[in-house]
Structure 1
């Protein structure tokens, strides 16, 4: 049963977090399984070079589409707090402005991407024999990106309304469509990378169709023509918080550029393929932690807007506790089953031999990342854009990128893999400091701490 917006401020936090986090986790799971299976199909039916090509192209498309995610998350915080404060008209104007901003900005970036496709592919690491399959994959995907951006934006608003199950379905539909079409286009029609891209593009459109249906027939946010006017104060508030998410994705894209070039320099094309497998596993394995983080956001945002600080504090405590437990379980599974997991993706003996150790190192600090993820999400939900930006960028921007640039000069390719757990530890310590300070000053209705 869906949660109404008002229930975000009244239901038991444990039950509410489960209701919000479980559907979000399932949705992310299906999306992650989709990416995993897509990578397996590409690796088994086309080759490990195709995995490298996908690893180059996806950061470009996700950078553009993350405009929608950023506007969705930033505007979702504004919308949740407006609903919590019973400002319904502000919530409606916020949603309408999000739609216009997402479509306009993503379309501009897509046109830019089409005109400078070769330059972008080279920048993101399409070197040597990676370029040809990367180009085949790039064009169908880039054209579909505005649909993906609107899906990402809409999905965050669906969760902000408390309708996590509908958000889950919105993520399951493209996963199912993409897997079926992958089989048709790659296996039976032998369309190679172009077929994989077409399957992905069609799946984005189907997701958009479902999100559109939800807002027309199921949403509590009933927009009218008067809401579709740019409101500068609302745009400013959305932008301040959206910059947090978009900056994070921008830094992730910069990291992808640096990683792809560094991996190619120190290990060649097969090292890019190795990271392609690891990056898919990162998203797949951490799906419950990401689901808890997404489930936490509307709860914290609504109750912060309603000044129910005790409920905000409780949601922080429980989210960290649940996410830390699940992250530890995931780490143990990766530690034990790294080699069998890698063997599913490819038959390339060199990739199979080198990936398990790299995978274990990348996941080495995963048991503690809950503090970093939930802590950064709290500041975003509370509308504290500067701290949210600082903490969101801390892992990739302040720690991981410098480490990836420095360590391989001394440790070779191993320096890339060891950089990940070091960055996790440093960013968690930084976030933990700010979060504990916030709880002991702002959320002071009770005196017990969480750390």
Structure 2
């Protein structure tokens, strides 16, 4: 069957149906991945100790940043693929996919080597001080071995969505999550391997995801059947792909810088306990927002395909409905966090100090979550249609332009409270800015 015929549903089916078809699998995949991180943290906190939560929180920025290289290449290239499918340009889609694989391997292997070489400098810089250093070092070195495989998996997952295969992408996210939890139990609880067990469980789970995605693209079920000629780097495609992917990479770079600052600021204000609090709250942010992030992921190929096909009324409809659905889901999340923070924290640890201090901080962090859909969908829209500069600026608005300055300033006046209130203030300010530019872009370009 021709490539365009197999992906044409993105331009013909009702937007509501497409959002459900694209978002539900994405949400389930993100849920399982987030649940994996959440349960992994629970296992580590209960079977190793609360200091282990802080250790993993220190390592995450480094491994996430390198893995984000794969995600950035995946999202940047997938934007090109979605629009190429909409414009019926099969060769460009295939060439883009081949270039994604080559670029991911080259960059992530290099970054892994550099990350391992500077291990003793990076861990303290990201807040791995005092009792946190040794367990963080054990976890970091092992996890980093599997990061190139994780990067390839993240890249391939986004290509699956661009190809119109959200269910396959969901399975690719579920496999490593389930595998990691099973391996956690075996290596940490049964074999008592401690931090090394947690790290090897994560690394092995990356391999499982990669093997599944690799099998799919080699099978007849994939439309993107590339040949060796497609692996050769094409400068025009690389330029467009890196410009769009830089949006995701810059966002993750800012996240890594945020972790660095937060871990160091909180360590100076409250020691290991405050870093552990942030570890728990950070996991809840990843977990609780899964349906909102799922809608955002589902929205990307729909907007990209229809924009490439010049079906602007469908693009407008996809924006409006994505914001509506994501906003309603965010409101539900807000209510649950506000009502049950104590019960949530008690799942992670029995440490009395953590149980007492974390719930009030969590309420502040989630205070403005109901409006976050506008910011997420708005910045995602510019990325979906290939406008890299506004996508980059809007993506960096929340954490780069607002949150980082706030956490550098407010703790000087309000202590640890200043750190937590920075979250809702940044959410409100970034939503206002994104809403303004999104509305202006709709009126300017999405004309019938």
What TM-score do you get using the length of structure 1 for normalisation? 0.98
Match of 1:298 in 2: 301
- Secondary structure of 1:255's match? helix
Q: Within 5 Å, give how 1:139-218 maps onto structure 2.
A: 139-217=141-219, 218=221
Q: Once the 2 structures are TM-superposed, how far is the Cα of residue 440 of structure 1 from its aligned partner?
A: 1.0
Q: Which residue, 275, 278, 290 being the options, matches 1:287?
A: 290
Match of 2:330 in 1: 327
Q: Which residue, 118, 121, 141 being the options, matches 2:120?
A: 118
Find the aligned partners of 2:216 and 2:123 in 1 and give their Cα distance: 36
Q: Within 5 Å, give how 1:49-448 maps onto structure 2.
A: 49-217=51-219, 218-445=221-448
**Alignment RMSD:** 0.7
Find the aligned partners of 1:172 and 1:418 in 2 and give their Cα distance: 34
Find the aligned partners of 1:267 and 1:139 in 2 and give their Cα distance: 27
Find the aligned partners of 1:230 and 1:185 in 2 and give their Cα distance: 41
Find the aligned partners of 2:320 and 2:162 in 1 and give their Cα distance: 20
Find the aligned partners of 1:398 and 1:225 in 2 and give their Cα distance: 42
Find the aligned partners of 1:377 and 1:395 in 2 and give their Cα distance: 14
Size of the aligned set, in residue pairs, is 443
Deviations 1:389-447 (A, max 9, x none): 000000000000000000000000000000000000000000000000011111122xx
Deviations 1:64-123 (A, max 9, x none): 010000000011101111111011000000000000000110000000011111111111
**Contact 1:292–1:323 (CA under 8 A) maintained in structure 2:** yes
Q: Once the 2 structures are TM-superposed, how far is the Cα of residue 58 of structure 1 from its aligned partner?
A: 1.1
Match of 1:449 in 2: none
What TM-score do you get using the length of structure 2 for normalisation? 0.98
Deviations 1:263-313 (A, max 9, x none): 001111110000000010001100000000000000000111111111111
Deviations 1:210-246 (A, max 9, x none): 0101111121101012211110000000010011000
Find the aligned partners of 1:4 and 1:303 in 2 and give their Cα distance: 15
Find the aligned partners of 2:6 and 2:42 in 1 and give their Cα distance: 39
Q: Could you list the runs of 5+ residues in structure 2 that have no partner in the other structure?
A: none
- Secondary structure of 1:275's match? helix
**Contact 1:75–1:94 (CA under 8 A) maintained in structure 2:** yes
Match of 1:26 in 2: 28
- Secondary structure of 1:344's match? helix
Q: Once the 2 structures are TM-superposed, how far is the Cα of residue 23 of structure 1 from its aligned partner?
A: 0.3
Deviations 1:339-363 (A, max 9, x none): 0000000011000100000011000
Deviations 1:118-153 (A, max 9, x none): 111111110111001001111110000000000000
Match of 1:448 in 2: none
Find the aligned partners of 1:122 and 1:5 in 2 and give their Cα distance: 48
**Contact 1:4–1:163 (CA under 8 A) maintained in structure 2:** no
Find the aligned partners of 2:188 and 2:232 in 1 and give their Cα distance: 44
Q: Could you list the runs of 5+ residues in structure 1 that have no partner in the other structure?
A: 446-451
Q: Once the 2 structures are TM-superposed, how far is the Cα of residue 4 of structure 1 from its aligned partner?
A: 3.8
Find the aligned partners of 1:335 and 1:81 in 2 and give their Cα distance: 41
Find the aligned partners of 1:267 and 1:75 in 2 and give their Cα distance: 43
Find the aligned partners of 1:163 and 1:266 in 2 and give their Cα distance: 47
Find the aligned partners of 1:330 and 1:228 in 2 and give their Cα distance: 43
Find the aligned partners of 2:6 and 2:370 in 1 and give their Cα distance: 33
Find the aligned partners of 2:233 and 2:140 in 1 and give their Cα distance: 33
- Secondary structure of 1:223's match? coil
Find the aligned partners of 1:202 and 1:225 in 2 and give their Cα distance: 28
**Contact 1:56–1:124 (CA under 8 A) maintained in structure 2:** yes
